[in-house]
Every structure is written in structure tokens, then in C-alpha cells.
Amino acid sequence: MAEETHSDPLANPLVIDTHVHPKMGAEALLTEMDSAGVQRAVLLAVETDPNDLRDPERLRQTRFRFFRTPEARRIFWSEIEAVMLQKLTPKVTNQVAAELAAAHPDRFIGLGSANLGKDPASVENHLQEIERLGLRGIKLLPFAQFFDPATSENFLRACAWCEATGRVILLHTGCGAPPWDARAFSEDAHPDRLRPALEKYHQVPIILAHLGSYSKDEPGIWFEEALQLGKDYPNVYGDLAAVAWLVEQEWRVERMRETIGFKRILFASDYPAVANQVSVRYMIDLVRNSPYLEVDEKLDILGRNAARLFGIDAVI
């Protein structure tokens, strides 16, 4: 009698990367996805404006925060300001994200962006554009769009719109990329800044990008705060963009399991921002090979949770 064989569910799992910046174009991105074994990717637009930093109040606040950073002891404000202005120049517009998603609907899901630091009319125009283009939600960067989720009327407006139209919010939590990589620059991206909005909006899925944990100097900076937010509000998710290393630490896995749980943790790479450090395949393997995760937890993280969230027709 032939010996019965059992296939390994992790040998070729459903993998959905929920945090990709498509700066390199479709061909290069699809090549990376195929190499890593990623079936779908969520592409993020980012709406920023270098002129925002010329607003006197924003400039004053940003300078104030700069002088509370370690960098202030060794470099000049003018150097930081020059880099910020360059980084705030938009790289991926809503139109670009929509065109990529439309060209490869079986591989890409598009999220737009709205700069919530702008006036309400501008925000409304961007929300309407996102809806017209068929994008599935919005990507928000509090530190680079100069808004505080705890006090922003535009953030409440975005939450109401997403709840009404069935869209998701993916919001950066934790420290920003350089030059916003100091804690002082990223205070508006603290997970607790979302609590006032979450008290009002219970249906819109809000994904905490980086699970509050990204920081060059303080890895895991607001990990506990992000988990507690997920425990308190069932519409809160977390992605592992640039922080997949969290699943290598037993105590962190246990904390995730007993708070937010693994039905709301999403695989994410932050590609290509991490490309010069690790590959997408490497980050997938951190999840696949974690000794602290159960098989079903791994399958949920890698793709099944995102399939449910985005309504992807897949075996889950």
C-alpha cells in the first residue's frame, strides 16, 4: 500500500503584500513579486506637498521638534529642511496607482492618498478622485502631511467617507523614514492619536502601518500602544511593513496573540524602501519559519487576512 503523503500548506501559501510603494513601475515590481512568491500587492499612492513646509505655523512646529532631536546637536536645521523638501515632492500620485491597478487587476490593489493637512475643499477633491479612480482606500502619513489624527477635522472627514464607501485607511504609525526618523518628528504617528476617531467610527478598517514599531533608534517604539489599540477596537489592523522581525521574538508573538490576535495582522514589506537591506522573500520567510507562530496563524498573516479584508476571491 502506498504511503500517504501530506502537502505542506506553507510550501506555496497565498501571500498578499499589503504595503508596496510602486516607484519602480509595474515590470520591476511584478518581477520581485514573482521571485518572492507574492500573488497580490497593495500599491500605495502618497500625496505630499513641499509647500506645506513653507506654512509659517508648520515650519515653526517642525523646527521646534527638530531641536528636540539628537541630530540637532550635530547638523544644521537647513540641512534637514532641504531633505524634507525633496522628500515631500510626490512620487506616486492617485492616478499612477489607479493606472497600475487597472492594468494588472489580478495582481495589484490600489490605495490612493489625500493630504489631510490641506483645506477641507482640497481634501474633499482628493477623496472624490480616489472614488472616481476606483481605488480601495487611502494611505496617510501624519508626519509628512502635517496633521494630528487626534485633532484633525479632515481625519474625521476621511473616516466618515471610508466608512460610507466601504474603503480602508492605512495610516503610518511609528517613526518616519529619514529625515523624520526621530521620535520628536513622529509624535502625530503615535497609535494613541487615533483614539478620538475610533470612538466615533467603528466600521472603517484602519491598518496601523508598521504596527507602531518602526524606528531606527528605538525598534518597537510604540508596539505595546499599537497592540492595545487593536485590542480595544476590533476595526484596527496592523501590518508588518519593515518590522517582520517582530515575529522572531517569542514575547512579542505572545503579546500579539493575547491582544490584537492574528486575524488582524497583515504581511507587508514596505518594498522598495527595504530593498537595500532585505528582500521581500526574506520577510516572508521570517513569518513562514517563525517557531512561535502556529501554521494557521502564519497562513492568516501571509495572505488570508488580507484576502478577507479586501474581498479577494481566493481559497482562504
pLDDT in tens, 163-198: 999 999 999 999 998 999 999 999 999 999 999 999
The pLDDT of residue 4: 47
Please report, as a single letter, which amino acid is at residue 193. Answer: R
pLDDT band at residue 295, thresholds of 50, 70 and 90? very high
pLDDT digits (tens, 9 = 90+) for 202-257: 999 999 999 999 999 999 999 999 999 999 999 999 999 999 999 999 999 999 99
CA 118 – CA 125 distance, rounded (Å): 11
Q: Average pLDDT for residues 109-130, to the nearest whole number?
A: 97
What percent of the chain clears pLDDT 90, i.e. is strictly above it?
90
Q: Where are the alpha helices (DSSP H) in the chain?
A: 26-36, 56-66, 77-87, 94-103, 120-133, 142-145, 153-165, 195-200, 223-232, 250-258, 280-288, 295-299, 305-310
Which grid cell is 235? 476595526
CA 296 – CA 298 distance, rounded (Å): 5
Rg (CA), the chain: 19
pTM of the model: 0.95
Count of Cβ atoms closer than 10 Å to residue 129 Cβ: 19
In the predicted structure, residue 275 carries a pLDDT above the cut 90: no
Count of Cβ atoms closer than 10 Å to residue 195 Cβ: 13
Domains delineated in the chain: 16-49+90-309 (3.20.20.140)
In the predicted structure, residue 58 carries a pLDDT above the cut 80: yes
CA 159 – CA 207 distance, rounded (Å): 12
